[in-house]
């Protein structure tokens, strides 16, 4: 049984671009992003090292 706090890639891909899509955060390192700079539409690129600072400002109900 899947966790209520997880979502599969297949299921998430069906939400992208829709009004009910969770807020998406791309927290890949700069090296990982440089190796594969593809972005998910609507995703915000954020520094994973400072998540404690910027996470407090997230107002969306659902985030990934």
| The pLDDT of residue 56 is above 70 | yes
Q: What is the pLDDT of residue 19?
A: 84
DSSP string, 42-64: TPEE--GGGHHHHGGG---S-B-
Largest Cα span, the chain: 35
Q: What is the pLDDT of residues 3-46, one digit of tens each?
A: 777 888 898 889 888 888 888 899 999 999 999 999 888 889 99
Contact present, 48 and 27 (Cβ < 8 Å): yes
Residue 1's pLDDT is 59
């Amino acid at each position: 049984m899947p966790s209520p706090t997880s979502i599969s890639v297949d299921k998430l891909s069906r939400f992208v671009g829709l009004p009910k899509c969770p807020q998406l955060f791309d927290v890949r390192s700069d090296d990982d992003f440089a190796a594969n700079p593809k972005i998910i539409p609507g995703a915000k690129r954020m520094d994973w090292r400072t998540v404690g600072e910027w996470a407090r400002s997230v107002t969306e109900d659902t985030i990934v």
